Structure 1
Amino acid sequence: MFPEFHSDNLLEKEKTILNKMESNKRFIEALLQNDSISYQNFLKPYQRVQTELGDLVTEVSHLNSVKNNEESQTIYSRLLPKLSEYYTDLGQNEEIFSALLKIQKAEPTLNAEKTKVLENEIRDFRLSGVGLDKTTKEELKNIRVKLSDLTNQFSQNVLNATNAFALHLNEDDVKGIPESDKNSAKQPDGTYKFTLHFPSYIAYMTYGENREIRKKLYDAYCTRAPENGKLIEEILNLRDKEAKLLGFETYAHLSLATKVANTPEEVISFLDHLALKAKPIAEKEYSEIKSFAKKLGRDSLEPWDLTYYSEKFKKDSFSYDEEIYRPYLEKETVIKGTFQFLEKLLGVTFKQANTPVWEPSVLCYDLLVEGETQSRLYLDLEVRSEKKGGAWMHNWKPHFEDENGKRVLPIAFVVASFPKATETQPSLLRPSDVVTLFHELGHALHHLLSKVKEPFVSGVNGVEWDAVEFPSQFLENFVYEPKVLELFAKHYQTKEPIPSSYIDTMVKAKNFMSAMGVIRQLEFAKFDMLVHKERPTETRVQEILDQVRKEIAIVIPPAYNKFQNSFTHIFAGGYAAGYYSYKWAELLSANAFYSFIDKGVFDLDHASHFRKTVLEKGGSSNAMNLFREFYGKDPEIDALLRLNGIAA
C-alpha cells in the first residue's frame, strides 16, 4: 500500500532523478503529439510524471536535511542547478502552454479541482516566462539556476557556522541550568558542551546565570555566517531582475501573484495596523521586565539578558517554570496522547507501522479515517548533529488518482529538534516543544487528510502561501486547553497526571509577554516585504532593518547583530516576501480555533465540517473561499488580538 523509504544509496537516487528528468521530457513530448489534447489525456499523466519526479527529489532533499553529510551536500548541490534548469525549461515550454490554453477553451465545464489545476498552471507558466523572447527566457533561466545555488549556499553557510561553534563549560559555568539540559550537554570528560543548535542555545540563554557566557553565545548566534551578507545582496538583486523580466514592479509584487493578499501595500497596512495595537502593550511588557531586573540588581537590560530575566519574571509572576513540566511531557507519551486528542477532535486514528526508517528514533504511523487507511506519517523528533535545526513538515507523496483511476495515498514527514533521549533519561519536552509538535502535525494533517484527486492541488500542494500556516496554527492553539493536556501530560516515572494547578498556571502564562512576541514577528515580516520592494545593497539591507526596528521594535539590538545573515526563511526558504503569512494565516486560525472553543472543544459535527471544508480540500480552491465555507463569513481581527492577549 505504501512504498518503503530507503536512506542508503544516494548516488543511485541521484542517477534515478537524472534519468527521470530525461524520461519525463520524452514522455511530455509524446503527450503533445496527441491529435486531440484533453485534460484526461494530457494534464492527468503530466501531473503524474511531475509528481513522481518531485517525490524522488524529496527523498534526497529530506536526507540532506536529516542525515546531512558531505555526500548528501555534494549530491544535493549537484542536483539543484539541473532541477532548476529542468523546471525553468518546462515552465517556458510554449507547446505545453498552448496545450493548456486549448484545454481551457475546449473544456469549460471541468470540475472545481481540475479548473484550479488548469488556472494555476496557466498562471505559473506566465510567471515562468512563457511568451518572452528567447534571449529573455535564457536570462530568466540563468537567474533561477543561480538563485537556486545561492539560496542553498546561504542555508549551508548557516548550518556550517552553527556546527562550528561550541563552548565547553565547567560545573561553575552551568549554574541555574536544569538537570535535563545539563544531562544533554554533559561530555565524557565531565565538561558541558553548549552550541548554537537551538535547544542547546536557548537552554543557556534562558537559565544560564553566567552573563558573560550568555553574551558569548548571543554574539556568536547573531553573527553567524557573515559571508551571507554579500549573498543577500546577490539574491535580492537576482530576484528583482527576475520580477522585472516577468513584468512585475518588484519581487514583492511577483511573490504576491500566488498568494491571497493582493499588494505589498495591503500587507504593510495589515502589519502596521497590528503593530499599532500591539506596540503600546509590548512597551508596557518590556518596562515591567526592566523593573523586575532592576529589583534583582540589573540596571541595564541587554539583549542577552532578555530571555533570562523574562523567564525569572515569568516564574515570579506565575510561579511558571517550563522545567517543572518536562517530566510530565515525555516524548513517547506526548505522541500517544496527541493521537488520542486528534481522534477525539477530528475522528482520525493512528496505528504504528513497521517499516524501514533512516534513524532508530524515527517512528512511523498509518492514519485511518472511519476505519480506512488514508495516509502515512513519519516522525523524526530528536536533535542530531547531522540534522538541520528547527522543525518542519515535508510532504513526500500527495493523495491523487492517476489517469487510470489508480489511487495514490499521501505520505509526510514531521521533523523537529527536541531534546535527545539519553541512557538515563527519555526525551522530555517543554510546553513550547509540544506547541511545535502540534504546529507541524497541523501541516501534516492538511496534507494527509486530502481527498483531492488532482496531485497539483492535493494536500498542501497549491495552497496559497499566506494560508498554508492556517491548519498548523489552528492546531497548536489547543496545547493550552486543559481538556487536551489532561490526555497526555503524565509524569514519566510515576505516571501521575499533571496537577491541575500546573495547567492553570500554564494557561495564565500563555500570553506572558505575547505582545513583544507579536512585535518581533511584525518586525521580521515588514523587513522581508520592504527588502523585496527594492534592490538593496548589503549596506541598504541593514538600513532598512534599522528603520523597521525604529518603527516597530521594542528592543534594539547592538549594531553588530546581523540577524539577516541567518534569516533562512526568506533567503533560503519559501518565505521571500511572504513572512507576513504567519500573521495573515493566524487571523484565519484564531477565528477557526474559537469556533471550536465556543462549542466545548470536542464537537464531531463541527470537526467533520472543518475536515470536509478545509483539510480534505487542500489547495483545490482559494483558501479564503474555503475559510468562508467553513466559518460562514470573513475572519475578524478581534479573534487574533484575543488569541494574543491583546485588547481589541
Structure 2
Amino acid sequence: MAKVGGAIGKDYRSVGVAWGVINHLKSVKDTPELRAAIEEVQPEKVKFQLRLGQSKPIYNAFKAIQDSPQWQSLSNAQKRIVESQIKEAVLNGVALEDDKRKEFNKIQQELERLSQKFGENVLDATKKFEKFITDEKEIEGLPATALALAAQTAVSKGHKEATAENGPWIITLDAPSFISVMQHAQNRDLREEFYRAYVTRASSGDLDNTPIIDQILKLRQEKAKLLNYINYAEVSMATKMATVQKAEELLEKLRTASWDAAVQGRTAAYFSLPKVMDGLFNLANTLFGIDIEPADGLAPVWNNDVRFYRVKDCSGSPIAYFYFDPYSRPSEKRGGAWMDEVVSRSLVLSCNGTAPRLPIAHMVCNQTPPVGGKPSLMTFREVETVFHEFGHALQHMLTKQDEGLVAGIRGIEWDAVELPSQFMENWCYHRETLMGIAKHYVTGETLPEDVYLKLLAARTFRAGSLSLRQLKFASLDLELHTRYIPGGSETIFDVDQRVSKRTQVIPPLPEDRFLCSFSHIFAGGYAAGYYSYKWAEVLSADAFSAFEDAGLDDSKAVKEIGRKFRETILALGGGKAPSEVFVEFRGREPSPEALLRHNGLSSVTASAYLILFICILSVYIDSK
C-alpha cells in the first residue's frame, strides 16, 4: 500500500503542486502572459494526468491489494483510498479499448480547454462593463462606502480628482459595486441597467459562452457514453453520496419552499475586517483548541493585501498554514469566494519521512476593499462568506489523516464537503460571537440590540431566498446533464426558462443569459453536483444543533463538543464514509429538525425535508 501510494505521490507531486500554484494565480492575478503560458502547457498537463489515471500497472496494483489476504488488515482510510482509486481509474477510462481511450482522451483535452476559456470570458465580460457617472442624482441611496469605492475606481482609471463626495464615480459589475447598486440605488433605471448587464455577461460578441456551453455539454455526454453511463449526471454521481433519482427527489420536494427574498439592514459600519477575523480566530480557539497567528513574510504572496497565517495546536506546535486574500480586484481576480489547497497533509511526501508534511490552504474572498483610510467594512453576507470558507479551510488544516489521498478535503464525497463550511455560518447568528465582532469601526459601539434582532428575524427570509436561488441552480444543473440534447430543438436558454417557471416566483427576463456565467458547472467542479449545497445543509444544521442541545451558553459543553467535532468531522477527512463520520460525531443518523427550526419552515416544507431526511437515511443504510 505504502509503495503504491508513494509512487503516485512522487509522480504527481511536482506536477500537482506546480499546477495548483498556476491555477491559483490564474484565479487571483490573471494576465495575458499567464493565459498564454497555460494554453501552451495545459495539453501536456492533461496528457500526464490521463496517463497516470489510465495506468494499468497502478490500477492492477490496487486491484491486487483489494483481492489480497491482507485486505482486511488495512485501515478504513487505506481501504477508502484503494476503492476510490479503482473507481477513479475506471472513470478516467482505464478499462477502455485503444480506440475508445484515444477518443476519451481527446474529449478530456477539449473539455479542459473549453472550461478554461469559459472562465476567462466571464472574467473579461465582468471587467469590460463600467459606468462613468458625474451626476450625483443618479447614485442617490448608495452608502458612503460604495461611493468611496466608486471614486477609488475612478482614480485608478485616471480621474485623479475623483472623491466620494463629488465624484466622478465609476461603477462596475464586480461584486461589491454591483450588489451595492442592486440593494441601495434609488434610481430604478440604474438598477435595471446593471441587472441586465449582469445577467447577460459573456453572452455576445467575442466573449460569448453560448457555443462553449453547448460543446461542453455535448462532450460530457459523449464521455458518459464511452464509460457506459446513461448521461453525465450518472458519471458525476458515481463519486457522490446521492444518486440522480435521490437528488431529483430532493429538489422536487423543496420546490415548494419559495418565499420573499430577505431584506438586509445596513450594518456594514459594524463589521470591519480586522474585528471579524479576530472574532473568527477566537471562536476557532474556543471550539477547536487552536491558535492562529500572523506569519506575514514567512511565505511569498501575490498581492500586498494577502495575509499569511500559522495555525498552532494547544502545545504551541505549528500544524498548518493558510493564505487569506480578502479583497475584490476586478482587473485580475475572478469573482466569488473559495478555499483550495496549496499542499495537503501527507506522511509519504514529508521531507524527513517521520513527521507528516503540514497542510497549507488558500482562502479567497471578494469583499469590499478599504477605501478612504477606512478598514474594509463588510456586509453581513460577506461575514457569512468568510466564516463559510474558513470552515472549508479548517477541514483541510485540522485533518489527522497521514494518507495524503484522504487527508483534509480529499476523498470526501462532493455532496458532504459543504458540511463544515455551512456549519461555521451558523456561528454568525450566535449572540456572543456576533456581538464580539460587530463593533462600530469609529466609536467601538456594539451592534444595537434591535439590529441584532432584525438580523435574526431576517434569517428565515435570507434562507428562503438563498434556498430558492440554489434550488433553481441545482435543478437546472441536473436537467442539463440528464435530459438536455445539445443541438436539439430546445436551447440551453429554453431549458433555463422552463426550469425557472417551476423554481422562481418571478421568471427571468427572456434575454437572461445567466448560464453564460455559471462558472460553478462549466468552469468548476460542480457539474451535476450543485444540489450538494442543499444536501449538506441538513447535515450542517444538525451538527450545529449538538451545541444548541448542550446549551450555547455552557462554555464547558461547547468546548467539549467542539473538540469532538474536530476529532470527527474535521480530523477524519476522506478516510471514512461521511455518513459514518456524522454518526460518530452526532451519535445518530442526521435529522432535518434543526434546519426546519433555523429557517422557520412551514409544515408543508417540513414534509419536504422529512422526505429529504428519508433520502439521506437510505443512503446511510445503503452504505452499511
TM-score, normalisation: structure 2 = 0.89
- Which of residues 206, 221, 225 is equivalent to 2:183? 206
- Which of residues 427, 436, 454 is equivalent to 1:505? 454
Matched, 1:142 2:86: no
> Matched residues in 2 for 1:510 and 1:550: separation?
25
Matched, 1:631 2:573: no
> Matched residues in 2 for 1:161 and 1:229: separation?
13
1:6-405 correspondence to structure 2 within 5 Å: 39-106=1-68, 107-108=70-71, 109-170=73-134, 171-186=136-151, 187=154, 188=160, 189=162, 190-226=167-203, 227-261=208-242, 263-276=243-256, 278-279=257-258, 282=259, 285=260, 314=263, 321-322=265-266, 325-354=267-296, 355=298, 356-371=300-315, 372-385=317-330, 386-402=332-348, 404-405=353-354
Residue 84 of structure 2 aligns with an amino acid whose one-letter code is N
Q: Which piece of structure 1 moves more, 434-443 or 338-347?
A: 338-347
Residue 606 of structure 1 aligns with an amino acid whose one-letter code is I
Point out where structure 2 has 5 or more consecutive residues left out of the alignment: 155-159, 607-624
Shift of 1:48: 4.2
Residue 279 of structure 2 aligns with an amino acid whose one-letter code is G
Q: Which piece of structure 1 moves more, 74-83 or 449-458?
A: 74-83
Q: Secondary structure at the match of 1:511?
A: helix
Counterpart contact for 1:391–1:416, Cα < 8 Å: yes
Q: How many residues end up aligned between the 2 structures?
A: 571
> Matched residues in 1 for 2:450 and 2:383: separation?
19
Aligned to 2:157: none
Aligned to 1:514: 463
Point out where structure 1 has 5 or more consecutive residues left out of the alignment: 1-38, 287-309, 315-319
> Matched residues in 1 for 2:463 and 2:348: separation?
47
TM-score, normalisation: structure 1 = 0.86
**In structure 2, do the counterparts of structure 1 residues 502 and 472 end up closer, same or farther at CA, with 3 Å as the change threshold?**
same
Aligned to 2:509: 558
- Which of residues 443, 450, 467 is equivalent to 2:392? 443
**In structure 2, do the counterparts of structure 1 residues 624 and 52 end up closer, same or farther at CA, with 3 Å as the change threshold?**
farther
Q: Secondary structure at the match of 1:357?
A: coil
* Residues 569-601 of structure 1 deviation map (CA, whole Å, 9 limit, x = unaligned): 001100000000000011100101111122223
Counterpart contact for 1:45–1:402, Cα < 8 Å: no
Counterpart contact for 2:175–2:367, Cα < 8 Å: no
* Residues 140-180 of structure 1 deviation map (CA, whole Å, 9 limit, x = unaligned): 00000000000111111010100110001121211000001
* Residues 88-124 of structure 1 deviation map (CA, whole Å, 9 limit, x = unaligned): 1221121221122122223312111111111110111
Counterpart contact for 2:500–2:508, Cα < 8 Å: no
Shift of 1:52: 4.1
Shift of 1:406: 4.2
> Matched residues in 1 for 2:367 and 2:494: separation?
36
Shift of 1:535: 4.6
* Residues 324-352 of structure 1 deviation map (CA, whole Å, 9 limit, x = unaligned): x2222111121112101111122221011
Shift of 1:82: 1.9
> Matched residues in 1 for 2:277 and 2:10: separation?
33
Counterpart contact for 1:178–1:207, Cα < 8 Å: yes
- Which of residues 610, 619, 625 is equivalent to 2:565? 610
Q: Secondary structure at the match of 2:240?
A: coil
> Matched residues in 2 for 1:369 and 1:501: separation?
38
Identity rate, percent:
35
- The RMSD of aligned alpha carbons is 1.6
Residue 24 of structure 2 aligns with an amino acid whose one-letter code is H
* Residues 463-496 of structure 1 deviation map (CA, whole Å, 9 limit, x = unaligned): 1111111100000111011111122222222223
Q: Which piece of structure 1 moves more, 619-628 or 172-181?
A: 619-628
Shift of 1:628: 1.4
Residue 462 of structure 1 aligns with an amino acid whose one-letter code is G
> Matched residues in 1 for 2:43 and 2:186: separation?
47
* Residues 505-548 of structure 1 deviation map (CA, whole Å, 9 limit, x = unaligned): 22122222532331221111011011100352364322222221
Counterpart contact for 1:51–1:455, Cα < 8 Å: no
Residue 240 of structure 1 aligns with an amino acid whose one-letter code is Q
> Matched residues in 1 for 2:432 and 2:11: separation?
45
> Matched residues in 2 for 1:246 and 1:537: separation?
19
Q: Which runs of 4+ in 1 moved over 4 A?
A: none
> Matched residues in 1 for 2:450 and 2:465: separation?
26
Residue 301 of structure 2 aligns with an amino acid whose one-letter code is V
Aligned to 2:609: none
Q: Secondary structure at the match of 1:247?
A: coil
